[in-house]
Amino acid sequence: MADNYLDLVNTSLPGRIAKALGLPRPSVLRRYTPGEALAEMPVLVTGSGAGADALADQLLGWDIEVRRHVLPGEKLSAAIVVLDRAAAPADLAAPMLELGQAVKLLVPGGRVVGIFRSPAETADPAEAAARQGVDGALRSVAHELRGGATANGIILRGAATTTDPTTLGALRFFLSGRSAYVDGQFLDVAVAPAESVAEFAAATTAEGEGVPDRPLAGRTAVVTGAARGIGAKIAEVLARDGARVVAVDVPAAGEQLAQVANRAGGTALQVDITEPEAAARILEHVGQRYGVLDIVVHNAGITRDKLLANMDAARWDSVIAVNIASQLRMNEQILASPVFSATGRIISLASTSGIAGNRGQSNYAASKAGVIGMVRAQGAAFDGSARTINAVAPGFIETDMTAKIPPLRRQVARRLSSLQQGGLPVDVAETIAFLASDAAAGINGQVVRVCGQNLVGA
């Protein structure tokens, strides 16, 4: 469903009228195209200390023009504020105020990225206050930015540094058009096991080379619910990034599924994921054709909305069966199989409804909050191995699912995010492709919202 209002306010006269009336003026977002430069204009790295210095050096190695202070009037592609040494709230003032000068100079689609240490990993109240303070300040900056610009954070865990491969991977994700609809979000980054980052590190240290445009080359990925909507886009983006894709959906969607698989240059497999033997059939298909399964994207999902007072068992049970019970059963079988790679990735679709709740969606929210619980527990079980599991929680995404919302409510829902628009399936797909790549090797057990910093609920 096209967002006609967004198209309209991005033309001259209607745009001026919307401004005069104080109406929302969503910008056309900067989305990723392979081969794009990470930053066309200089990037500010503010903050002092070895971590900030090392990061600035790294960016120079990526052929980015780096500034350590704002130059009056000079436009910036991004501003990175490094606060890894913040020990008390007073330490935030100078870098945050400099950031305040920088945001005025950001180009449309500009980026703010904060890098700081985890508030959960210090016992010192002043240090915890400083670290948590960065979180609050960055979320507020995200609310304030306009012109399709976003603000996000990277939280260093344990011994992670500003230049660890996963820190740099997360930074590249936030700087690039891949994260167009990710706003006001924080990625916890830990030191990743050596075997899963070797390829990425080699690619990024080669002078000026950056990561390859096909970061998933040679990987085999299964995407459930791939016949349409977000799942079809995930299949397409994973294939663009080099993966061999197995597209899975119910037999009734067979024709559409075959088209998606063809476009992705992969194979189609008609399986209802609620069947007890679903995982066995997928593992057999992948094992025979490709030998190894690297990436599993649990995307298939349904809604059967009703107020709880009017809910019947059929609606409740079907949503739980598709959205969470099948994932739990499949993961058990996939993890027990020798076909699943030792550096395997699992990415599950949650929803902002599973974080904030949503009227008429108690069954759906139970299933999607269930996904988040599952990912946390399984992520903890993966600690110390090279496997990861993460969830992606979309907000309002323009698909058949949201086209069913009555027109007025749909218009309101679109504007209720910091980016004042719905996301596109490709925005969810790009985040999943990032989490599936070596660049995200140190990101595990987390939930990444792709919601444009939705203002409702959490």
**Which residues have C-beta within 8 Å of that of residue 424, sequence separation ≥ 6?**
31, 181, 233, 397, 398
> Cα(176)–Cα(193) distance, rounded to whole angstroms?
25
Site string for ligand NAD, 362-401 (x = CB under 6 A): --------------------------------x-xx-xxx
Residue 302 binds ligand NAD, judged by CB under 6 A? yes
364 given a catalytic annotation: yes
Q: Is 456 in the site for ligand NAD (CB under 6 A)?
A: no
- Shortest CB 19 distance to ligand NAD, Å: 29
What is the three-class DSSP state of 300?
Answer: coil
Q: Which is nearer to ligand NAD, 204 or 224 (CB)?
A: 224
Contact between residue 163 and residue 194 where contact means Cβ atoms under 8 Å apart: no
Nearer to ligand NAD, 168 or 300 (CB): 300
Q: Which two three-digit tokens encode residue 306?
A: 């009703």
Stretch (H or E) spanning 108: strand 106-117
User: Of 47 and 423, which has the nearer Cβ to ligand NAD?
Assistant: 423
* Token output for 93: 């003032």
**What is d(CA 230, CA 452) in angstroms, rounded to the nearest whole number?**
16
402 binds ligand NAD (CB under 6 A): yes
Least separation in angstroms between residue 397's CB and ligand NAD is 4
* Site track for ligand NAD across 270-289, x = CB under 6 A: --xxx---------------
Q: Does 7 bind ligand NAD (CB under 6 A)?
A: no
Q: Which residues of 125-161 are buried (b: 16+ CB within 10 A; e: fewer)?
A: eebbbbbbbbbebbbebbeebeebbbbbbbbbbeebe
Provide, rounded to whole angstroms, the least separation between the CB of residue 274 and ligand NAD: 5
**Residue of 5, 32, 290, 364 marked catalytic:** 364
DSSP string, 243-286: -EEEEEE-GGGHHHHHHHHHHTTSEEEE--TTSTTHHHHHHHHH
- The reply on whether position 299 binds ligand NAD by CB under 6 A is yes
Number of residues that bind ligand NAD (CB under 6 A): 27
In this chain, which of 78, 349, 372, 432 binds ligand NAD, going by CB under 6 A? Answer: 349
Least separation in angstroms between residue 319's CB and ligand NAD is 9
**Footprint (CB under 6 A) of ligand NAD, residues 172-231:** 224-225, 227-231
Token pair listed for 86: 């913040």
Residue 204: alpha-carbon gap to chain centroid: 21
Active site residues: 364
Binding site for ligand NAD (CB under 6 A): 224-225, 227-231, 249-250, 253, 272-274, 299-302, 322, 349, 351, 394, 396-397, 399-402
